[in-house]
Amino acid sequence: MPLVRVDIKKHSDPTFAKRIGEQIYAAMRSTINVPEHDNFQILNERDGEHFIFDPQYLGIQRSDQLVIIQITLNEGRTLEQKKVLYQTIAQNLNAQLGIRLEDVFINLVEVKKENWSFGNGIAQYAS
């Protein structure tokens, strides 16, 4: 059950954020075994004053087209799965939307399964 949050600078194409989300979902399905229909995303477009980042941190040259992706998911994926996920997301965004690899920033937040309620006030994954 990943919850994906994407933040980008306001884009002229009103479908751009949604298309980013589609690529992220496809990457999660192919790399970390996210099931069909398990697609929950919050897509945000920000003006420049509310989208702050360092353009050179760790020697990576970022542009105003930076995409910040935060994925909250159940703990338990291996380091290798995470690395493949990062690479697949970045490559898909580059190939499909022309987003530079340097402009893909990804953060995973791992939580225990009991930290989710999918509705009805019930912790569906709690044992």
CA 65 to chain centre: 15
CA distance 123 to 125: 6
Query: What b/e readout covers 12-38, taking b as 16+ CB neighbours within 10 angstroms?
Result: eeeebbeebbbbbbebbeebbebeeee
CATH of the domain at 104: 3.30.429.10
Q: Is residue 57 part of a domain?
A: yes
Residue 58: pLDDT band (50, 70, 90) is very high
Q: What is the pLDDT of residue 7?
A: 98
Q: Is residue 123 part of a domain?
A: no
Q: Is-catalytic flag, 2?
A: yes
Range of the domain at 29: 3-115
CA distance 31 to 85: 6
> Minimal CA–CA distance to 27: which of 82, 98, 77, 102?
82
Check 2, 14, 35, 55 and give the catalytic one: 2
Residue 117: pLDDT band (50, 70, 90) is confident
Residue 89: pLDDT band (50, 70, 90) is very high
Q: How many domains does the chain have?
A: 1
Q: Is residue 77 part of a domain?
A: yes
Residue 124: pLDDT band (50, 70, 90) is confident
Q: Is residue 42 part of a domain?
A: yes
Residue 118: pLDDT band (50, 70, 90) is confident
pLDDT, one tens digit per residue, over 26-36 is 999 999 999 99
How many degrees, rounded to 5, is the angle at CA 118 between CA 116 and CA 122?
A: 75
Q: Is residue 125 part of a domain?
A: no
Q: What is the pLDDT of residue 125?
A: 84
The whole model's pTM is what?
0.94
